[in-house]
Amino acid sequence: MIKAMYEKGFTGAIVVCDICEKRIEDAGGGAAVYPSVYTEEEILEVLHVHRGSCRKMAEKKLGGKNNTVSDELIDHMLNACASVGLSVEELERKRNANRESGVSRL
């Protein structure tokens, strides 16, 4: 799940594991798990989880390994950004602007 946290003088979005409820700090160590059976344009429940035991528990929660698929968290987040019209270039431009103005922890 996506939440917000105040840290080092800034409030910003963080990704929290839907199973253990701890922060996912490394995108390479996370996954997005969702049902594998769906209809066209159906909006699906997605669980953001740590790889390993949290991922296995998420698969079980959504009907078992044979009824779910998962994406690497980094790919899932890039797709989420693209779905709201953010390009990689726009993200980079925004990050640089925020760094220069001191309003970002990135």
Convert the pLDDT of each residue in 37-96 to its tens digit: 888 999 999 999 999 999 999 999 999 999 999 999 999 999 999 999 998 898 889 888
Strands, sheet with 47-50, edge to edge from the N-terminal-most edge strand: 47-50, 30-35, 68-72
* Number of residues that make up the chain: 106
Strand 47-50 relative to strand 30-35, pairing: antiparallel
Amino acid at 77: M
Whole-model pTM: value is 0.84
